[in-house]
A and B are shown apart, each in its own frame.
Chain A
């Protein structure tokens, strides 16, 4: 009997479905209460004028949005969030690819190298950010000491003290955290490519670069897509690195949407602008998430 022949009532309410509802209920209730409801609530805040205790004062419709859209700083921060993500993900992809190619060469100690490459991902992000803060320390940090001592850079900048160096320093830490995941996904893809493809390419006299562009890259392109999408989500969301290293400073030079929205709410107690930023962030992240989910689902179905 096909499913459509069963009346809807019975499809919705039969012993198996009832058991499924019972088993799903706790997880779904927790998600509703502590994730979905808070999202709805933040949408509400964005439509109201609020006081310093985040209490609703007056319904203002979209006026909070209009105010933000008229604010130059908002556009600056949104643009920065986007190029922060674009630059970081691009560099992670390239460096991750290089690491994956290196790990795909067979030599003794390759497993050990793999373990070491993973450390930045395995480490706790907030702790990594604190450690980097110390590495970047202007007087006693070992980065500048090393740069000076080796003569690579006689007069290195005060990394976290000026806008451009601070942005560079933050984005590098985010990249550094993200390289291992990219590398591991690419490596898994490379190892699934049939060896005889390379053998016949070798017999045809194909060089290393051609092998990469005609065999390796096409063979892993789905994984590249899914890994970069995930990385976009994480990078856009990387609150910890920026907040711990610079708190968005100096003078807002490293603020992206999520750090600014947090500061708006919990430092300046401006809840309505914070909620507007949260709503904007929500839409960007949801779009990316749906894209990721679709590709992931298609892959699952295929395998």
Chain B
């Protein structure tokens, strides 16, 4: 035990140093969002603002089109979550519980395409969206986001369905429930944690999405938050205090949601050896 006793303080010190180093950008974000405009543009910039301008968090909603972007992001993320869930649940049930030719192949295929890059298809998808007259609509992003999360969420949901003992379902079938009833009344209620995980996952994925937004959306009215923030940088005088405040407000919901699913997400990505 001697080694561990000596090792512990060293580990704590190293942890603190490493965390201070890794979290530096977030420290900068918190510091900048409370600065006044003059303080942002002082050289050298102060670490901690002299007076804390919490008003930046309010100005954001009036001086920067934050409310518009926020609303777009909400619509797109909720829409993606809804569509993704509607597509995922039945498909996951089928691969988890029903016997049919090609079941293993389909599972394998989902696992492979889950890793495909949006950049590969963005050229063609742009043309598809143009010909469907979907450019510059929320629907284009809802569709594109769902397509790129579906494979992974089916995999995760498949795992949850399979962990439910078959006997429970069989008993319900014998008692005269139809297949659809066993899904909605027996399987889904038991798989709620899994359902919540996949829903949160697709919400976060849509909230953080940048590439499709950059390509499909032109008008400010339809822009998701991440894209709004991106376009805010690079004008000749960027109001960094507002931008950092906006980044903070945009991050809070995804951080909270991420902590709910973090363990199950790691287990889903790394496979059987990691238990959620």
Could you list which residues of chain A lie within 8 angstroms of chain B, going by C-beta atoms? 11-12, 16-17, 19-24, 26-28, 30-31, 33-35, 37-39, 41-42, 45, 54, 98-99, 102-103, 105-107, 109, 113, 115-128, 130-135, 139-143, 145-146, 148-149, 176, 179, 181, 184-185, 188-189, 192, 202, 207-208, 222-223, 226-227, 230, 233, 236-237, 239-240, 244, 258, 261-262, 265-266, 271, 274-275, 278, 281-282, 285-286, 288-290, 292-293, 295-297, 299-300, 302-303
A19 to B180, CA, bound (A): 10
Question: Which chain B residues (20-67) contact chain A, with CB distance < 8 Å?
Answer: 22-26, 28-29, 31-32, 40-45, 47
A120 to B22, CA, bound (A): 8
A21 to B259, CA, bound (A): 35
Shortest distance in angstroms between A235's beta carbon and chain B's nearest beta carbon? 11
A50 to B118, CA, bound (A): 21
A240 and B211 contact, CB distance less than 8 A? yes
A176 and B100 contact, CB distance less than 8 A? no
Shortest distance in angstroms between A158's beta carbon and chain B's nearest beta carbon? 14
B95 and A24 contact, CB distance less than 8 A? yes
Of B82-90, B164-172, B184-192, the stretch lying at the interface with chain A is B82-90
Interface presence of B174 (CB below 8 A)? no
A261 to B121, CA, bound (A): 11
Q: Mark B243-257, 1 if CB is under 8 A from A, else 0.
A: 110010011001100
B99 and A296 contact, CB distance less than 8 A? no
Question: Which of B28, B86, B100, B226 meets A142, CB within 8 Å?
Answer: B28
A278 and B119 contact, CB distance less than 8 A? yes
Question: Which chain B residues (127-152) contact chain A, with CB distance < 8 Å?
Answer: 127-128, 143-144, 146-148, 150-151
B88 and A27 contact, CB distance less than 8 A? yes
Residues on A with beta carbons closer than 8 Å to the beta carbon of B148: 35
Given A107-B11, A134-B32, are A122 and B106 also a contact pair (CB < 8 Å)? Answer: no
Q: Which among B100, B117, B250 has the greatest number of chain A C-beta atoms within 10 A?
A: B117
Q: Would you list 19 pairs from A and B whose C-beta atoms are within 8 A, ordered by A residue?
A: A20-B95, A23-B93, A34-B147, A103-B15, A113-B19, A119-B23, A124-B208, A127-B208, A128-B25, A134-B32, A142-B28, A185-B269, A208-B3, A223-B274, A236-B117, A239-B211, A258-B117, A289-B112, A299-B273
Residues on B with beta carbons closer than 8 Å to the beta carbon of A184: 262, 266
A127 and B99 contact, CB distance less than 8 A? no
Shortest distance in angstroms between B27's beta carbon and chain A's nearest beta carbon? 8
Could you list which residues of chain B lie within 8 angstroms of chain A, going by C-beta atoms? 1, 3-4, 7-8, 11-12, 14-15, 18-19, 22-26, 28-29, 31-32, 40-45, 47, 86-88, 90-91, 93-95, 98-101, 103, 106, 108, 111-128, 143-144, 146-148, 150-151, 154, 179, 207-208, 210-211, 215, 226, 229-230, 233, 240, 243-244, 247, 250-251, 254-255, 258-259, 262, 266-267, 269-275
A90 to B3, CA, bound (A): 29
A126 and B123 contact, CB distance less than 8 A? no
A123 to B200, CA, bound (A): 14
Question: Which of B24, B25, B29, B272 meets A299, CB within 8 Å?
Answer: B272
A109 to B230, CA, bound (A): 36
Question: Which of B93, B112, B207 meets A286, CB within 8 Å?
Answer: B112
A140 and B45 contact, CB distance less than 8 A? yes
Shortest distance in angstroms between B128's beta carbon and chain A's nearest beta carbon? 6
Question: Which of B7, B111, B150, B262 meets A105, CB within 8 Å?
Answer: B7
A26 to B44, CA, bound (A): 57
Shortest distance in angstroms between A41's beta carbon and chain B's nearest beta carbon? 4
B98 and A20 contact, CB distance less than 8 A? yes
Q: Known pairs A41-B127, A265-B123, A289-B115; list 4 more (Cβ under 8 Å).
A: A12-B100, A42-B120, A142-B47, A208-B7
Given A54-B127, A181-B266, are A296 and B91 also a contact pair (CB < 8 Å)? Answer: no
Question: Which of B8, B24, B94, B128 meets A38, CB within 8 Å?
Answer: B128
A126 and B90 contact, CB distance less than 8 A? no
Residues on A with beta carbons closer than 8 Å to the beta carbon of B151: 31
Given A102-B15, A107-B12, are A12 and B101 also a contact pair (CB < 8 Å)? Answer: yes
Q: Is the interface of A mostly helix, strand, loop or mixed?
A: helix
A185 to B270, CA, bound (A): 7
With CB as the reference atom, state the residue of chain B lying closest to A148: B44
A265 to B93, CA, bound (A): 39
B233 and A130 contact, CB distance less than 8 A? yes
A130 and B247 contact, CB distance less than 8 A? yes
Residues on A with beta carbons closer than 8 Å to the beta carbon of B240: 134, 140
Residues on B with beta carbons closer than 8 Å to the beta carbon of A265: 122-123, 126
B270 and A227 contact, CB distance less than 8 A? yes
A300 to B40, CA, bound (A): 52
A36 to B116, CA, bound (A): 10
A24 to B94, CA, bound (A): 7
Shortest distance in angstroms between A224's beta carbon and chain B's nearest beta carbon? 10
A140 and B43 contact, CB distance less than 8 A? yes
A144 to B235, CA, bound (A): 22
